[in-house]
Amino acid sequence: MDQDIPNGTLRSIDGCERRYTDGYWIKTYPVPEDTLRAKRRLIEALTRRLFNHTEHGLNIPGHRLAEAKQAYEAESNPGKKRIKGAMYAGAMFNRATDIFTRLVELQSMGVEISSSNDLMRECGRCLQDALALCRLVLHRSGEEGIDELWGEPFRAFSIPLEDFYEGRYVKMAQAMRDIDKVAEAMLRTFDTPMFPGIEPVIREFAGAARDKVETLRTDREIFDIWAEMVTAGERLANFRPLMSNPDDEHEQRVASFGTQLICNGRDLIFHITRARVPMPKSTQEFAERCATYAATGIVTMMPIPLPG
């Protein structure tokens, strides 16, 4: 039984090495050599990913750090202060990346860079201060914060790369579990005569999403995997209910709310999949909305997506 398998167990499955983590066999990739250059590439990639999944307007250049700090500290309106704090954090992330880039350039010219170097300490301080402001930042959907993603650049800076990638398997397993929770909520909710045949469509989409979570963008298989997920999501979004009396207004509302909820679930799975970290608050709220719909035929409101 899988529950008896220790985390970290490696096994070749269909010719691919996989690592067992919290109930999932996840595809492995080689860990880069732990150098400043490798860490710089990783932090740059993590920072780009962070800005790609958080609310718009946070990618403030590092050279504007002083301006961003002044704007944040001078703001008294709570709503505006939250946003300016998030912008300030974005500037600190970019300042840290700028510093790391210069350190790698110096190292390439033969300058020895130790962990006690003043610039190294300043880089770590910027990342840590930015992490302290993560409570101010929302996912681009506007539904919740995404602390797991926000903390990754600091972790990549402060721990060995092997330990960082070890933690990534845990995050991916947690993301896969949230994908399955969303899918199971949909399966329970739409196991009705109004939505006949939707089960395999939901399962296919969830399976494609799990495949995408474990696959790096540099993998040659990404073209097939991403195309499969997108088309599976389209089939789910285009699924049409079967109404026994299409002229009945109540049945029309129930069908309309149902298709809306299906699209919401699809979108949430896309958010989790692309971020490759769990979104527990959104997952729980979606399950509750499914339960409300199953009991009443009504869908409660989703948060309004952030502008951008």
Q: Which of 147, 204, 206 is nearest to 176 (CA)?
A: 206
Q: Within a domain: residue 2? A: no
Instruction: Give the model confidence (pLDDT) of 101-157 as tens digits.
Output: 888 787 777 777 777 778 888 888 888 888 888 778 877 776 666 666 777 887 887
Among residues 131, 158, 185, the one where a domain terminates is 158
Residue 304 is assigned to a structural domain of this protein: no
246 lies in a domain?
yes
How many domains, the chain? 2
pLDDT value of position 305: 47
As a whole number of angstroms, the distance between CA 71 and CA 162 comes to: 38
What pTM was computed for the model? 0.83
For 19-37, the pLDDT digits (tens) are 999 999 999 999 988 888 8
Residues 132 and 217 in one domain: no
Answer for the pair 20, 11: CB distance below 8 angstroms, yes or no.
yes
Name residue 10's amino acid: L
**pLDDT computed for residue 46 by the predictor:** 83
Among 111, 130, 158, where does a domain finish? 158
Do 187 and 233 have their domain in common? yes
Q: What order do you get walking across the sheet with 16-21 strand by strand?
A: 10-13, 16-21, 24-27
Q: Token match 């979108």: residue?
A: 267
Amino acid 63 reads H
Choose one of 97, 128, 158: the last residue of a domain: 158
Position 287 scores a pLDDT of: 95
Segments of the chain with pLDDT less than 70: 1-3, 142-148, 300-308
Predicted pLDDT of residue 143: 66
Containing domain of residue 182, as a range? 170-296
Whether residues 114 and 149 share a domain: the answer is yes
> 288 and 177, same structural domain?
yes
Structure tokens at 69: 């700090």
Would residue 11 count as lying in a domain? no
